[in-house]
Amino acid sequence: MNSFSALGLAEQVVRALSKEDYTVPTPIQAQSIPILLKGHDLLGIAQTGTGKTAAFATPLLTRMLQNPRPVTPRNVRVLVMAPTRELAAQIADSFKTYGQFAGITVATIVGGVSYGPQVKALHRGLDVLVATPGRLLDHMQEGNVRLDKVEAVVLDEADHMFDLGFIVPIRKILAKLPKTRQSLFFSATMPREISALASEFLHKPERVEVAPAATTTERVRQEVIMVGAGGKGPALLDLLKKPEFERTIVFTRTKRGADKVCKALDRTGIVALAIHGNKSQNQRQAALDSFKSGRATVLVATDIAARGIDVPMVSHVINFELPDVPESYVHRIGRTARAGAEGIAISLVDASERHLLRAIEKLVRQPIEVTARLAGASAESDEAFIEAPKPRGRNNSGKNANQRPQNGKANAGGRNNGPRTDDARSRRRPFTGTPTHASSPRAAEAPRTVDAVGERPITTRKPQRPGSRARERHRQSQQPQA
């Protein structure tokens, strides 16, 4: 007997799990499924990557099959709320996969896409609705959906919902649910506010904790590469040209940083796509699909966009910049080593980020091994890496993506990265990053002229003596990159 059927799941659901090659329940599944099949409320402390979606989806599907009830217009049987569109789409896909023999209807209601198809789906009525809170509230206010017949509700990644300011919409939504219902609450961490929300939301919950809050999964090998000023870009390229970096997520702190890294990689022939909050939902989904299918080998992401993303077989996570919030590090590295696979997380750390590294080590309760110390590259290497435009003549439109308005406000909103004068725009700088594919026509195009001024995500440049940059550039051009 399959161990999932031993847990009491419906035959249709067990069949779907076997088809997906799920043979052994993960710890959160083994603990949660029996509790949920009994109809109890659940407080689950677990990160994504632990198998928590199947832990709640499979028993909820089983209960729906055990109590068949036709869906009625504008009504929903199971409501799942998730903080991001990507996570909502993933959860809905999981319900469809695990419910493929159960004949259930599932829809995703998220922002950033048109209302029409969502309204139609809601008007028909649904077995399972997976939604982000803002758009769901809009539909409720429009009268497109009612929640008074909801049998079970799931709040996923509650701590992330809180970070994104979703608590008010969630409370409004919860107020419309019937008193008698099954409630599930999942969070990777349990700070005070989240635990207060959980006790409001749940009724005599059973608690399941699969890993202590915010501890790092042990399956991820974590490394730090210390880089000198300007060394991040070249170090990133050096890593990505290695064949074992088959499917890598690179994290940056800012959306603009993600775009810049992405463009810089693109210039060297690496197929990289960015995913962050300024991209439309369709662009985000297209980037994810390309990454999942292997068309793009690198996904460059910010924390918010990447959280909860489930891409199998991510070989490496690279922190191009450390996050300001140490907990985000745990979420980032959780993108690799998913579902039992080994994974590697490498952080490129410069002197300005040592305090962030210390905070992370404190949180994960272990020192992170420094596997390499790279000599400082030229203070401008990163800048060349992330800002060098395509050479003149290539882009006749004049709309180089790296160009910023040169009105003196270009750095507004960015950090103050030290003195920067207008003549920086016209200086010729060599491209010091190691080209990844020698055959790439773009890789061979050096030297480049930098005429862009903008916010840079790197804060390593120190004031230098006049002329020292020129000397440093000369030294760089004479030596291979460290």
Residues that bind ligand AMP (CB under 6 A): 22, 24-26, 29, 48-54, 310, 312, 338-339
Nearest to 376 by CA among 473, 445, 463: 473
For ligand AMP, the closer CB: 312 or 467 = 312
Q: How far is the CB of 106 from ligand AMP (least distance, A)?
A: 16
H/E run at residue 16: helix 11-19
Q: How far is the CB of 210 from ligand AMP (least distance, A)?
A: 10
Residues paired with residue 226 on neighbouring β-strands, in sequence order: 349, 373
Q: How far is the CB of 21 from ligand AMP (least distance, A)?
A: 7
Contacting residues for 91 by C-beta, under 8 A, at least 6 apart: 53, 57, 80, 82, 130, 156
Q: How far is the CB of 9 from ligand AMP (least distance, A)?
A: 12
Q: How far is the CB of 131 from ligand AMP (least distance, A)?
A: 18
H/E run at residue 291: helix 281-293
Q: How far is the CB of 372 from ligand AMP (least distance, A)?
A: 31
* Bridging pattern class, strands 126-131 and 152-155: unpaired
For ligand AMP, the closer CB: 303 or 353 = 303
Local structure of 176: helix, strand or coil: coil
Q: Is 131 exposed, middle or buried (0-12, 13-18, 19+ CB in 10 A)?
A: buried
DSSP state of 434: P
Local structure of 7: helix, strand or coil: coil
Local structure of 209: helix, strand or coil: strand
Q: How far is the CB of 338 from ligand AMP (least distance, A)?
A: 5
CA quadruple 51, 52, 55, 58: dihedral, nearest 10: -80
For ligand AMP, the closer CB: 334 or 454 = 334
For ligand AMP, the closer CB: 53 or 182 = 53
Q: How far is the CB of 7 from ligand AMP (least distance, A)?
A: 11
Q: How far is the CB of 60 from ligand AMP (least distance, A)?
A: 13
Contact, 130 vs 100, CB < 8 A? no
For ligand AMP, the closer CB: 86 or 321 = 86
For ligand AMP, the closer CB: 47 or 434 = 47
For ligand AMP, the closer CB: 53 or 302 = 53
For ligand AMP, the closer CB: 53 or 476 = 53
Contact, 202 vs 183, CB < 8 A? yes
Q: How far is the CB of 27 from ligand AMP (least distance, A)?
A: 10
Contact, 386 vs 432, CB < 8 A? no
Contacting residues for 364 by C-beta, under 8 A, at least 6 apart: 214, 215, 216, 222, 329, 330
Distance (Å, rounded) from C-alpha 118 to C-alpha 186?
Answer: 26
Contact, 296 vs 273, CB < 8 A? yes
HSE-CB for 106 with a 13 A CA cutoff: 22
Residues paired with residue 128 on neighbouring β-strands, in sequence order: 78, 106
Distance (Å, rounded) from C-alpha 253 to C-alpha 306?
Answer: 12
Residue type for position 190: M
For ligand AMP, the closer CB: 55 or 270 = 55
Distance (Å, rounded) from C-alpha 293 to C-alpha 296?
Answer: 8
For ligand AMP, the closer CB: 49 or 389 = 49
Local structure of 268: helix, strand or coil: coil
Tell me how long the chain is: 482
DSSP string of 366-393, one letter each residue: SPPEEEEEEPP--TTHHHHHHHPPPPTT
For ligand AMP, the closer CB: 187 or 436 = 187
Contact, 387 vs 456, CB < 8 A? yes
For ligand AMP, the closer CB: 48 or 319 = 48
Q: How far is the CB of 84 from ligand AMP (least distance, A)?
A: 13
Q: How far is the CB of 53 from ligand AMP (least distance, A)?
A: 3
